[in-house]
């Protein structure tokens, strides 16, 4: 069974630009969560989607948004990029919603904002 | 909100010994705790989940405990090997806020 895939793997953007990251979950998984990982803050929860609906969202500004499609694939968007948005963005999928179950993480997208 | 604390300093263990990693939570007792392993440049990999009403969970050379009195989980790797060297992350969950992760402990197993 193929794992969680994320594209692109690396991205360099300029302040003020916007970026869209993509995540394809494991086949059959309907829950997709997004996390931001930085050396200073560690892994922080961004949001979770299940059946195309956002179930919950972490403490991030409205510049961070996401969506999920009917095939469970998910995208996250960051608008008006800031230097502090430089991070590894990780997507995780799970068969059911909620954090009570193991999460399967993708390799991440390394975003650098200059 | 919940806060998960892990020893951020690297833990050096000699091969063959038992490595013990600590995870402390500061507020309410989470419904469960999860442990993940992360290698450089890769996403975390799920290892074990322990529920609040479970004292101990085992999987091969791995063992995790959950002590609600101490607000602590311990993660043990017995007969450690250099291949066990990685960053180990503790995470709590149970509400609608996704997983709350600690910053991880970098484990180094020396041959």
Identify the pLDDT of residue B2. Answer: 80
Alpha-carbon Rg of chain A, whole angstroms?
Answer: 13
Disruptive mutation site among B5, B43, B50, B100 for chain A (greatest number of A CBs within 10 Å): B43
Supply the pLDDT for residue A75: 98
pLDDT in tens, B9-33: 899 999 999 999 999 998 777 888 9
B97 to A52, B94, B100, B108, B111: CA distances (angstroms) = 18, 8, 8, 32, 40
Residues of chain A contacting B44 with CB distance shorter than 8 Å? 43, 90, 103, 105
pLDDT tens for each residue of chain A, 114 residues long: 789 999 999 999 999 999 999 999 999 999 999 999 999 899 999 999 999 999 889 999 999 999 999 999 999 999 999 999 999 999 999 987 766 788 999 999 999 999
CB atoms under 10 Å from CB of B97, counted, come to: 17
Tokens of A74: 């998910």
**In terms of Cα–Cα distance, which of B45, B91, B97, B27 is closest to A45?**
B97
Q: List Cα–Cα distances, A65 to A85, A89, B51, in angstroms.
A: 13, 13, 31
Check: CB of residue A54 under 8 Å from CB of residue A96: no
Interface test with chain A among B96, B98, B103, by most A beta carbons within 10 Å: B98
């Amino acid at each position: 069974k193929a794992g969680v895939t994320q594209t692109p793997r690396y991205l360099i953007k300029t302040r003020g630009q916007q970026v869209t990251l993509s995540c394809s979950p494991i086949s059959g998984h309907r829950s997709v969560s997004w996390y931001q990982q930085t050396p200073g803050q560690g892994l922080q929860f961004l949001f979770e989607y299940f059946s195309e609906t956002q179930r919950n969202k972490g403490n991030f500004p409205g510049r961070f948004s996401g969506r999920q499609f009917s095939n469970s694939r998910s995208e996250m968007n960051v608008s008006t990029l800031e230097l502090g948005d430089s991070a590894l963005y990780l997507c995780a999928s799970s068969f059911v919603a909620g954090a009570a179950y193991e999460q399967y993480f993708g390799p991440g997208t390394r975003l650098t904002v200059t | 909100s919940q806060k998960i604390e892990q020893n951020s300093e690297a833990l050096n263990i000699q091969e063959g010994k038992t490595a013990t990693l600590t995870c402390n939570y500061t507020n309410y007792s989470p419904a469960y705790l999860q442990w993940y392993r992360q290698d450089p440049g890769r996403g975390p990999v799920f290892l074990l989940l322990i529920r609040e009403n479970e004292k101990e969970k085992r999987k091969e050379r791995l063992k995790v405990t959950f002590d609600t009195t101490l607000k602590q989980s311990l993660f043990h790797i017995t007969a450690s090997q250099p291949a066990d060297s990685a960053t180990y992350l503790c995470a709590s969950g149970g509400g609608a806020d996704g997983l709350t992760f600690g910053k991880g402990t970098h484990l180094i197993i020396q041959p």
